[in-house]
C-alpha cells in the first residue's frame, strides 16, 4: 500500500513538473510571436510582391501604405506602450482596453495586418464554403452584399474602415468604423476590412473612393478571408 502511494506521488510530481515546463514554454512562444528580442508589436509580412495587386492597387501605393504608414503605426505603438499596463498584452487586448493614441495605433496595426493579408495576385471571384453560404443567406446574394458593403464604405465620413464581421453565432454584419476602429471593440470578429483612408487609394484613384471600392473586390483572397469565418 505504501509503495503504491509513493508511485502515485512520484507520478503527480512528474506530471506537475511537465505541466509547469509546458506552460512556461507556451509563455515563451507567445512572447516570441510578438517579438523575439524586446516583445515589440510587429506588422504582418506581406504575402505577395509590392506590384502583385496592380492595376487595382499600384506598387507605389503598397510601398507607401505598407512600408511607411503601417510601419509608423508599429513604431508609434512600440514607443507608446512602454511602461503602461498594456506593455505585455497581445494586440487584440490592447485594442480592446486602450483609448487615445495607444488605441489609434494598435487599432491600425490590427486593421492593416488583416487588410494586407486579404489580397492576392489574381484574386477576386466569390467566396465559397461556409462564408459564401452565410453571405448568400444573410444578404440575399454576393452582389447584394457587395452593394451594401460599398455603400457603407462610401458613407464613412473622413478616414475610417468598412468591415464584414461576425458575432459568436456566426451572424454577419457590415460595420463602419472611424479612424483606427475595429469590430473587436464591439465583441465581433473581423472577417474583411477595406481601408477608406485616402492614403489607401488617393495615388491611384484620387478622390474617387467609390471607384476604388468597386475595383478592390478583384484582388480579394477569398481562401484566406473565408478561413476567418
Ligand atoms: Mn491604411
Task: Enumerate the domain spans of the chain.
Answer: 56-229
CATH tag, 56-229: 3.55.40.20
Return the percentage of the chain with pLDDT > 90, whole number: 83
Q: pLDDT tens digits for 55-81?
A: 999 999 999 999 999 999 999 999 999
Q: Return the pLDDT at 2.
A: 46
Residues, CB within 5 angstroms of ligand 1 (ion):
195, 197, 200
Residue carrying the nine cell digits 486593421:
111
Q: Contact, 182 vs 98, CB < 8 A?
A: no
142: how many CB neighbours lie within 10 A of its CB? 15
Q: Say whether pLDDT at 29 is over 70.
A: no
Count how many residues are written for the chain: 229
Q: Return the pLDDT at 192.
A: 98
Q: How far is the CA of 196 from the centre of ligand 1 (A)?
A: 7
Q: Contact, 123 vs 221, CB < 8 A?
A: yes
Q: How far is the CA of 144 from the centre of ligand 1 (A)?
A: 26
Quote the cell numbers at residue 155: 458613407
Q: How far is the CA of 35 from the centre of ligand 1 (A)?
A: 23
Global pTM value: 0.83
Phi, psi of 195, rounded to the nearest 5 degrees: -80, 120
Helix ranges restricted to H, the chain = 2-34, 59-64, 71-80, 91-97, 100-116, 129-139, 142-155, 202-205, 209-216, 222-226
Amino acid at each position: 500500500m505504501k509503495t503504491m502511494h509513493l508511485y502515485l506521488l512520484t507520478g503527480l510530481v512528474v506530471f506537475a513538473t511537465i505541466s509547469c515546463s509546458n506552460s512556461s514554454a507556451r509563455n515563451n512562444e507567445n512572447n516570441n510571436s510578438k517579438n523575439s528580442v524586446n516583445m515589440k508589436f510587429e506588422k504582418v509580412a506581406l504575402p505577395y510582391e509590392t506590384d502583385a495587386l496592380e492595376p487595382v492597387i499600384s506598387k507605389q501605393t503598397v510601398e507607401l501604405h505598407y512600408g511607411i504608414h503601417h510601419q509608423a503605426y508599429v513604431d508609434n505603438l512600440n514607443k507608446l506602450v512602454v511602461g503602461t499596463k498594456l506593455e505585455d498584452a497581445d494586440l487584440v487586448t490592447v485594442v480592446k482596453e486602450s483609448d487615445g493614441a495607444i488605441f489609434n495605433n494598435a487599432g491600425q496595426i490590427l486593421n492593416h495586418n488583416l487588410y494586407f493579408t486579404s489580397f492576392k495576385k489574381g484574386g477576386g471571384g466569390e467566396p465559397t464554403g461556409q462564408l459564401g453560404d452565410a453571405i448568400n443567406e444573410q444578404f440575399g446574394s454576393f452582389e447584394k452584399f457587395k452593394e451594401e458593403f460599398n455603400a457603407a464604405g462610401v458613407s464613412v465620413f473622413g478616414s475610417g474602415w468598412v468591415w464584414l464581421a461576425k458575432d459568436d453565432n456566426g451572424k454577419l454584419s457590415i460595420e463602419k468604423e472611424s479612424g483606427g476602429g475595429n469590430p473587436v471593440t464591439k465583441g465581433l470578429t473581423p472577417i474583411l476590412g477595406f481601408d477608406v483612408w485616402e492614403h489607401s487609394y488617393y495615388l491611384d484613384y484620387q478622390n474617387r473612393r467609390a471607384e476604388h471600392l468597386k475595383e478592390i473586390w478583384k484582388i480579394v483572397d477569398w481562401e484566406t478571408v473565408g478561413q476567418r469565418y
